[in-house]
Amino acid sequence: MPEFLSKHGFNTTRVRSDTMKRIKSKNTKPELILRQYLWRKGVRYRLLNNDIIGKPDLTIRKSKIAIFIDGEFWHGYNWAAKRQKIVSNREYWISKIEKNIERDNKVNHILTQSGWVVIRFWGKEISSNIESCLKAIIPYLNK
């Protein structure tokens, strides 16, 4: 498979590039599951609020709750172990994911300092145990 130079200056295959382009950043399956369950419980929320730093996946403004649904690869789930397993474009991916982790921590800090409750879920956490995710949100509603 011939390589080409990506917009980030790294050699990659067209197949890999096309695969990465198809990864969704909104309306993912875990996000849709959580939204459906919250709606059924009567919890109203706003999607991808640009007014809030970090652009949370869901915000519940009256309770000042910012909910992020993080993809395991992009946000470094079990990063110490996964970091060692990255083979292709190591330099790029390690730098990218570590910057994401750093940005997530900074966003958490800023929002918390501003009085927001920040709740982060891993995508697989929602898919495998939605009830425990709801239990993490409910105590902060209407506070």
Q: Retrieve residue 72's tokens.
A: 């395991």
CATH 3.40.50.920 fits 24-140, yes or no: no
Torsion of CA 120, 73, 50, 140, to 10 degrees: -10
Q: How many C-beta atoms lie closer than 10 Å to residue 93's C-beta?
A: 17
Q: Identify whether the C-beta of residue 104 lies closer than 8 Å to the C-beta of residue 70.
A: yes
Question: What is the Cα–Cα distance from 91 to 123, expressed in whole angstroms?
Answer: 25
- pLDDT tens for each residue of 68-102: 999 888 888 889 888 888 888 888 888 998 999 99
Residue 1: band (very low, low, confident or very high) from pLDDT cuts 50, 70, 90: very low
